[in-house]
Amino acid sequence: MKNNSLSSLTLLFIAALLSGCGGSDTKIVEREPIPIEDDHGHDDEHDHDEEVSLGRLLISTKDQAKVSVVDIKEKTVVHEVTVSETPSALYASPNNRYGFVVQRTADRVDVIDGGLWQEDHGDHADDFEADPKQMLFSTNRVRPTHLNGTSDQSVIFFDGNSATASPASVAVFTEADIANNAAGTLLEYTTHMHGAAQGRGDYLISTVRDPATTSTLPDRVAVYRAHNGYFADESVFSETCPGLHGSAQNETQITFGCTDGVLVITQTGETFAASKIPNPASFTGTTRIGALVGDHAIEEFVGIAAGQFFAVNTSTNVITAINWVDTSVTPAATALAYDFADDGEFFVILDNQGKLTILDTADWSVIDRVQAITSNLAALPTGSKFELALTPGHLAYVSDPIANQVKQIDLDEAEVTDTIQLDFVPNKITWLGIAEPASGEHAH
């Protein structure tokens, strides 16, 4: 086994208070990036191996314009940044090195370098560890709302603002764009919309809204292709998607939620075809799928309608209910956060009672449930909720704004394995680190 050595006792630490761009204040302990060497037989190197394997958490503070990077192994804040406003969301970049700090009403997205990354040299990979820092990279397009990623792209949909006649736009960034403070590849609309977009390499599958309509939701989807830093439209699908909201993708398909079903876009090489899965007969009134989740390792999608979960099978064109609720508990739990985990093996749901439900994606059966939060739920601060951060491996993290803690859950063992005590009330949370360290230690 390869041990990750940092020889940190020989480093010169310089404490500094730095000013970041856009009115951000940064507290950082600065040092040069250190390659993690193969050095056998030393306990401290094993500790650094574990530190890199566990990674770091990016956490925002409730009702404050501040984010912190927390070292999971050491359980300490190693970096703090004051941003423009209380973050509306936090997202990790595709390789989990960078954290996007979305500040929707400030029309801004800042980026934090988590300080853990890997460089691929073909015949081997090297892991690096450095102090976290705020990147020069940022965006100031209007109303950043939805962010998703592929294996090498981050896609941000900016809704625009009808009150200021600001049109919507989409920006697609690679890790190199972030590192080099580059503009990325842009799609610029002529009207505002609460839309959605999915990146597919040189292609972008994104929404279209008729500016003559009063709804902010689009009802069509188009294929765009990158040319010289901008996306140009190639074709608009004839299949409509009224009231479009929510999108996801897997290896070959992209899905969008519509009031009358799920729009499915299938990619074959450079060709894209559209079809529609109609709502099941069990959907009555205004029930519709308004959010979707996909994973490149899984053929089925998960759709969310009226707070319930459904397996969306694009091969059989069938939408089937997922029975995840513990019927022995009254009142019934409601979902707060959810996603695929551990390379698509699990689907994890965090509910408002602080419990994680772990589903087997092979048949959508419940594997186990974990009571992540044991604090007095009645003491939950107004405006707070439990938040979920998943690693690429089998560890999950759940924030507890009652006790100012983060709980670590091992999904394989279905148990709480550690607690991180904070000195602030956590709000949003995401995981940063190396998915598969060169030491062979998967990111747990």
Give the residue ranges of DSSP H helices in 73-228.
175-179
Contact 206, 196 (CB under 8 A): yes
Q: How confident is the model at residue 123 (pLDDT cuts 50, 70, 90)?
A: confident
Residues 6+ apart with CB under 8 A from 40: 3
Mean pLDDT for the chain overall: 89
- The Cα 152–Cα 66 span in angstroms is 27
The per-residue pLDDT for range 92-105, each reduced to its tens digit, is: 999 999 999 999 99
pLDDT at 429 over 50: yes
Residue 55 near residue 69 (C-beta atoms within 8 A): no
Task: Kindly give, in sequence order, each residue whose CB lies less than 8 Å from that of residue 228, ignoring residues fewer than 6 positions away.
Answer: none
In the β-sheet with 335-341, what is the strand arrangement from edge to edge?
Answer: 335-341, 346-351, 355-360, 365-371
For 376-437, the DSSP string reads: -GGGPPTT----EEE-SSSEEEEEETTTTEEEEEETTTTEEEEEEE-SS-EEEEEEES-SS-
Inform me whether the pLDDT recorded for 381 exceeds 80. Answer: yes
The H-or-E segment that residue 277 falls in is strand 271-278
| pLDDT above 70 for 342 | yes
Instruction: Look up tokens 């449930």; give the residue.
Output: 369
Q: 44 pLDDT exceeds 60?
A: no
Q: What are phi and psi of 251, to 5 degrees?
A: -65, -40
Evaluate if residue 28 carries a pLDDT over 50: no
Is residue 114 within 8 Å of 58, Cβ to Cβ? yes
* pLDDT confidence bin for 125, thresholds 50/70/90: confident
Q: What is the mean pLDDT of residues 400-416?
A: 98
- Under a CB-based contact definition with an 8 Å cutoff, are residues 75 and 420 in contact? yes
Name the more confident of 26 and 74: 74
What value does the mean pLDDT take over residues 74-97?
96
Rounded (5°) CA angle 150-431-127: 80
Query: Is the predicted pLDDT of residue 11 greater than 80, yes or no?
Result: no
- At 168-221, the pLDDT tens digits run 999 999 999 999 999 999 999 999 999 999 999 999 999 999 999 999 999 999
pLDDT tier at 4, thresholds 50, 70, 90: very low
Contact 350, 372 (CB under 8 A): yes
Q: How many helices (H) and strands (E) does the chain have?
A: 2, 39
